């Protein structure tokens, strides 16, 4: 009998909501933590950085909670009084930033933490306030709508923003997203699979924006890697919808090399059981997923042998341990982005005397608790992910995350 889908009323919608929200540091080669060298190339790169000395005279007073006393002022915009989970996530991001400031030292930055209330109006007002107070850069906001609301004031003033939204559409020149963009995880999974001989893939995707993003990136990646997305089915979070989706691609699955199921929670096991109950032999098919599978029941027999890409969890474990020791709670992975970002801008400020865009766009990239990453000129983020295989009910790395980027020097 197929697994009951009633649990999807909460778990399924929570996964969709998370996808919507998510909709060093320092040069590669450094270790994570407070003693990470900034990673500019050793040659003439320093000459390209125009230090931005502090303006003479007294500094304007800042509004918000202030951490540190450095010459470079940076604002951190968070939904501290936001509704729902926003305030909880904001508190974690704030704690991560405080942890990072303890590592870089109070003289590295003056970090001004501002509450956006989780609204577009609040984000726009906080950004304008940061401009008026002479911030060299803005970190955050978290939600894509708030990022867009904060952009005009910062762009007109030439102040870079490093936000935490994973909505690729919110990025722009000077508006960088230090986030886990879903496109990157999909690409890593499918490029690894095609490198192992997978050519034809069927995708079974949830309705909504998360499914749209996964489908678009799957088509793009497979086309460039020599594979083919032979069929796509969509489902809602109920039994009838999943049965219908599986039935619509049953013949395509039988002819394909792999089935791509990017959703997490109960979705992978439920979809796989539906396929087997429908008479589809999956013994010669490779199951493919994403980092969302870390929320799935990897002990399910039907998921053994599957591949999916995700952040190197062993590396993140060091951050989680330090956070829990300091604040007494288990942090989310998202909060590690705030830690890495504060370390990043602190090290840029030390090397450049400000936060110039060409330092943020360093092609060598940066390395932090969340792995290696770099920003493109259009504001998007490229990250290094590991590939895992489900073995004996657990995820084990079969292709490690890269330690450097191709094309970086």
Distance CA 175, CA 377 (A): 9
CA–CA–CA angle 219, 223, 229 (5° rounding): 50
Q: Which domains does the chain have, with CATH numbers?
A: 63-180+314-378 (3.40.50.2300), 183-310 (3.40.50.2300)
Are 153 and 134 in contact by the 8 Å Cβ rule? The answer is no
Phi and psi at residue 230, to the nearest 5°: -80, -25
Residues 235-254: tens digit of each pLDDT = 999 989 999 999 999 999 99
User: pLDDT (tens digit, 9 = 90+) per residue, 260-313?
Assistant: 999 999 999 999 999 999 999 999 999 999 999 999 999 999 999 999 999 999
* Residue 5 contacts residue 242 (beta carbons within 8 Å): yes
Sign (positive or negative) of CA dihedral 24, 180, 314, 402: negative
The token pair at 26 is 């320092």
Residue 331 has pLDDT above 80, yes or no: yes
Given a cut of 90, whether residue 6 has pLDDT beyond it is no
Element (DSSP H or E) covering residue 149:
helix 144-157
Whole-model pTM: value is 0.85
Position 352 confidence tier, pLDDT thresholds 50, 70, 90: confident
Q: Which two tokens stand for residue 249?
A: 């691609």
pLDDT value, residue 27: 46
pLDDT for 408: 58
Q: Which two tokens stand for residue 331?
A: 């942090």
User: For residue range 296-305, what is the model confidence (pLDDT) as tens digits?
Assistant: 999 999 999 9
Q: What pLDDT digit, counting tens, does each position of 115-159 carry?
A: 999 999 999 999 999 999 999 999 999 999 999 999 999 999 999
Beta partners for residue 307, in sequence order: 288, 389
User: What value does the mean pLDDT take over residues 165-186?
Assistant: 96
> How do strand 286-289 and strand 381-383 relate by DSSP bridges?
unpaired
Residue 33 has pLDDT above 80, yes or no: no
Per-residue model confidence as pLDDT tens digits over 63-86: 999 999 999 999 999 999 999 899
Q: pLDDT tier at 393 (50, 70, 90 boundaries)?
A: very high
* Largest interatomic CA distance in the chain: 77
């Amino acid at each position: 009998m197929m697994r009951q889908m009633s649990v999807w009323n909460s778990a399924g919608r929570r996964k969709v909501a998370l996808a919507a929200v998510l909709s060093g540091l320092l040069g590669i080669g450094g270790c994570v933590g407070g003693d990470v060298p900034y990673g500019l190339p050793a040659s003439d790169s320093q000459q390209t950085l125009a230090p931005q000395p502090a303006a003479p005279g007294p500094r304007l007073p800042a509004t918000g909670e202030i951490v540190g006393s450095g010459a470079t002022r940076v604002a951190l915009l968070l939904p501290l009084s936001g509704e729902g989970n926003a305030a909880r996530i904001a508190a974690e991001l704030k704690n991560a930033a405080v942890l990072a400031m303890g590592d870089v030292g109070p003289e590295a930055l003056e970090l001004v933490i501002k509450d956006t209330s989780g609204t577009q109006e609040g984000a726009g007002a906080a950004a304008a306030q940061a401009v008026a107070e002479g911030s060299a850069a803005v970190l955050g906001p978290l939600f894509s709508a708030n990022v867009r609301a904060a952009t005009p004031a910062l762009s007109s003033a030439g102040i870079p923003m490093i936000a935490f939204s994973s909505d690729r559409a919110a990025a722009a020149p000077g508006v960088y997203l230090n986030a886990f963009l879903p496109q990157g995880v999909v690409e890593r999974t499918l490029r690894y699979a095609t490198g192992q001989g997978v050519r034809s893939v069927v995708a079974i995707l949830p309705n909504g924006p998360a499914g749209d993003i996964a489908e678009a990136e799957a088509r793009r990646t497979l086309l460039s890697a020599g594979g083919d997305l032979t069929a796509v089915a969509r489902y809602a979070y109920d039994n009838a919808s999943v049965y219908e989706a599986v039935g619509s691609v049953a013949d395509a699955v039988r002819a394909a090399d792999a089935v791509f199921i990017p959703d997490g929670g109960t979705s992978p096991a439920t979809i796989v059981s539906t396929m087997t109950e429908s008479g589809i032999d999956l013994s010669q098919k490779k199951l493919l997923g994403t980092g969302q599978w870390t929320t799935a029941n990897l002990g399910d027999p039907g998921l053994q042998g599957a591949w999916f890409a995700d952040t190197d969890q062993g590396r993140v474990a060091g951050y989680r341990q330090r956070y829990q020791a300091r604040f007494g709670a288990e942090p989310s992975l998202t909060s590690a982005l705030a830690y890495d970002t504060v370390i990043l801008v602190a090290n840029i400020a030390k090397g450049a005397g400000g936060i110039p865009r060409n330092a943020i766009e360093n092609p060598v990239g940066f390395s932090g608790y969340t792995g290696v990453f770099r920003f493109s000129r259009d504001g998007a983020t490229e990250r290094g992910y590991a590939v895992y295989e489900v073995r004996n009910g657990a995820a084990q790395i079969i292709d490690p995350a890269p330690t450097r980027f191709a094309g970086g020097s």
